[in-house]
Amino acid sequence: MSGDVHAFLAAAGEFLGARPVDHTTLLTEAAYLAARPSDDADQLYGWWRADDGMVAGAFLRAPGHDPVLSSMPDEAVTALAATLPTLPPVGVDGGLADVAVDAWRRGGVALTEQSRVRLYRLDRLRAPMPPPGRPRPADDGDRDLLVSWYEALMAAHPGDPSELAYVVDDPLSYGGIVLWEVDGVPTAMAGRSRVVEGMARLGAVYSVDDPRHGDAAFVAACAAASRIADDVLVFAGAADHTADAAYRRWGFEPVVDRVLLAT
């Protein structure tokens, strides 16, 4: 284990990068923290080596966020639970949830599923007829507006730990925010992560009034991401049938569920 994200990437980066879709959360958070280092003592990174010396599992706890586990063998989950019994709440792949519950139960910690999100991967973008307007990349001149939209997003989702830098400043630095404009006035935004190991994930979407503008910004951001990334991903609540229908309509297919386990 280490408190240094660069040591983590040096040790576990190849393992994570071999399956970038499955490991999207760890890869994007590690890339962000490597680009914008934090001295927060709350961060923690770990990796597990199999008998052949190869890394076969990893976890990451970004500052202010719940830890997330990669795919890993059952014995790695058991070792992690024995080493860090107070680590939860933890985010795991749906297929690893029962293993994690059992591993922490052995140490006297009872975990249950608190929430579930579904990861979707873009197969072939099927862009709908957009509403009036056009997309354009956001730039530094849009920052004040984007900050106000970020504040509105956080007010609507008070439990979301996303930082201003993660949602606004970092994406601005690599052209990762698309605006939808009507008559030259921005009405919506959609952001994406950095491209890591050929993978990019869509993130924050906000529209001022008309949700169709948010959809249009999202689809435009998907189109832009698909030109530079092999895998374009997005998360949605596993029970969000409206999002599920929209993503499938636009060409996304479900890949895996991620589950948050907590006491």
Q: For the chain, give every domain's residue range.
A: 5-110, 121-256
Would you say the C-alpha torsion 142, 176, 38, 259 has a positive or negative sign? positive
Average pLDDT of the chain? Answer: 97
Alpha carbon distance 109, 164 (integer Å)? 34
The 10s digit of each residue's pLDDT in 179-222 is 999 999 999 999 999 999 999 999 999 999 999 999 999 999 99
pTM for this predicted structure: 0.96
Query: Could you give the C-alpha distances from 219 to 122, 159, 213, 244, 255, in angstroms and in order?
Result: 11, 26, 10, 15, 19
Would you say residue 163 has pLDDT above 90? yes
pLDDT at position 262 is 98
Would you say residue 69 has pLDDT above 90? yes
Would you say residue 4 has pLDDT above 90? yes
Classify residue 205 as left (phi > 0), alpha (psi -120 to 50) or beta: beta
pLDDT at position 263 is 96
Give residues with Cβ within 8 angstroms of 248, minimum separation 6. none
At 140, which amino acid appears?
Answer: D
Would you say residue 20 has pLDDT above 90? yes
Mean pLDDT of 158-177: 95
pLDDT at position 159 is 87
Give residues with Cβ within 8 angstroms of 88, minimum separation 6. 67, 104, 109, 111, 261, 262, 263
Q: Are 165 and 191 in contact (CB under 8 A)?
A: no
Fold of domain 121-256: Aminopeptidase (3.40.630)
